[in-house]
């Protein structure tokens, strides 16, 4: 039987095989933890954005309407779910490779990660981070609206009974208002008989969202008017004087 030990020792000497220096492993470890930190942060930010999108849809509030279940399903931010899913998978795979990660059950790691990003994501959402990210994406990526159903695009589906925009004219006598939607199209909205929810101020330059029925081109019959959420950052819900 050939002596492998002698062969190995001979090869080490003849080919001057060296031990990889310790700093190599230290750098690799630092990069790994940096990546883990980055992915965790990404997960938290994405969760805050998902909260922002879903809470702005007020999905629970439109149940029972026509097409509501379909709209909810179509309106969910699948793109962000996918990105979040990829970030979570990458994080778990990298974590399990660490010197202590493999000792913990994978299910527990996944659950803990989702729980932490869920909680911290909500925290960031409360601080308005979701809104900042949403605005950043909308302003810097023209195709963003095609991939993700933003609150503005979700609340601008007049054919499905959802309309939103800024009030440009108000006629209280005939209970009619004119709004300009996010695509600068004007709509005549009749709100006689509509429920005006708490917090809504019908005044020029106020942003609102309306649930009702499209009534021909540029006309809308309101059933319910809600206030557009007051933005924590960026533009206020009305132009300043």
Partner 1 sequence: MLDQKKYENKSDEEIVKMTIENSDYYFYLTKRYEGKLLRYIQRISGVSEEVGHDILQEVFLKVYQNLLSFDFKLKFSSWIYRIARNTAISYWRKNKKDWNNFYLEDNEKLKNSLEAQGNMEKELLRKINAENVKKIMGELKPVHREVLTLKFLEDKNYEEISDIIKKPIGTVATLIFRAKKDFRAVLDKVKIDLE
Window 37-76: contact mask with partner 1 (x via CB under 8 A): ----------------------------------------
Angstrom distance (rounded) from CA 58 to CA 211: 12
**Residue of the chain from 14, 22, 199, 240 that contacts partner 1 (CB under 8 A):** 22
Do 214 and 161 form a contact (C-beta atoms < 8 A)?
yes
**Residue of the chain from 31, 96, 195, 218 that contacts partner 1 (CB under 8 A):** 96
Q: Which stretch binds partner 1 (CB under 8 A): 20-28, 110-118, 171-179, 200-208?
A: 20-28
DSSP, res 240: -
User: Among residues 20 and 240, whose Cβ is nearest to partner 1?
Assistant: 20
Q: Does the protein bind partner 1 through residue 14 (CB under 8 A)? A: no
Q: Output phi, psi for 192, to 5 deg.
A: -65, 125
Q: Does the protein bind partner 1 through residue 13 (CB under 8 A)? A: yes
Round the CA-based radius of gyration of the chain to a whole number and report it: 27
Angstrom distance (rounded) from CA 161 to CA 195: 15
- Please report how close the Cβ of residue 37 comes to partner 1 at its closest, in angstroms: 22
Q: Does the protein bind partner 1 through residue 21 (CB under 8 A)? A: yes
Ranges of H-type helices in the chain:
4-14, 22-57, 68-75, 78-97, 106-126, 129-140, 144-147, 151-154
Q: Which stretch binds partner 1 (CB under 8 A): 59-67, 99-107, 206-214, 232-240?
A: 99-107
Among 122, 50, 129, smallest CA distance to 85 is for: 50
Q: Which stretch binds partner 1 (CB under 8 A): 8-16, 119-127, 129-137, 205-213?
A: 8-16
Q: Output phi, psi for 221, to 5 deg.
A: -105, 110
Q: Does the protein bind partner 1 through residue 105 (CB under 8 A)? A: yes
Residue 194, classed as helix, strand or coil, is coil
DSSP 150-198: -HHHHT-BGGGTEEEEEEEEEETTTTEEEEE-TTS-EEEEE-TT-EE-T
Q: Does the protein bind partner 1 through residue 141 (CB under 8 A)? A: no
Q: Does the protein bind partner 1 through residue 6 (CB under 8 A)? A: yes
- Please report how close the Cβ of residue 43 comes to partner 1 at its closest, in angstroms: 23
Q: Does the protein bind partner 1 through residue 18 (CB under 8 A)? A: yes
Structure tokens at 159: 């054919």
* Residue ranges binding partner 1 (CB under 8 A): 1-2, 4-9, 11-13, 17-22, 25, 96-97, 99, 102-106
């Amino acid at each position: 039987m050939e002596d492998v030990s002698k062969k190995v020792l001979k090869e080490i000497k003849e080919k001057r095989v060296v031990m990889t220096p310790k700093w190599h492993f230290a750098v690799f470890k630092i990069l790994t933890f940096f990546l883990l930190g980055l992915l965790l942060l990404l997960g938290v930010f994405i969760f805050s954005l998902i909260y922002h999108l879903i809470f702005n849809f007020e999905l629970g509030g439109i149940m029972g309407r026509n097409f509501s279940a379909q709209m909810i399903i179509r309106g969910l931010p699948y793109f962000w779910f996918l990105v979040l899913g990829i970030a979570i998978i990458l994080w778990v795979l990298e974590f399990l490779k660490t010197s202590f990660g493999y000792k913990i059950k994978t299910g527990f790691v996944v659950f803990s990660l989702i729980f932490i990003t869920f909680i911290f994501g909500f925290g960031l959402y409360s601080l308005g981070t979701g809104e900042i990210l949403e605005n950043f994406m909308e302003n810097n990526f023209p195709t963003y609206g095609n991939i993700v159903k933003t609150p503005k695009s979700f609340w601008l589906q007049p054919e499905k009974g959802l309309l939103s925009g800024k009030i440009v004219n108000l006629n209280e006598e005939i209970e009619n208002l004119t709004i300009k939607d996010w695509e600068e199209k004007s709509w005549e909205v009749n709100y006689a008989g509509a429920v005006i929810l708490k917090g809504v101020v019908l005044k020029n330059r106020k942003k609102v969202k309306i649930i009702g029925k499209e009534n021909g081109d540029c006309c809308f019959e309101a059933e319910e008017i809600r206030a557009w959420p007051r933005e924590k950052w960026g533009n206020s819900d009305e132009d300043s004087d």
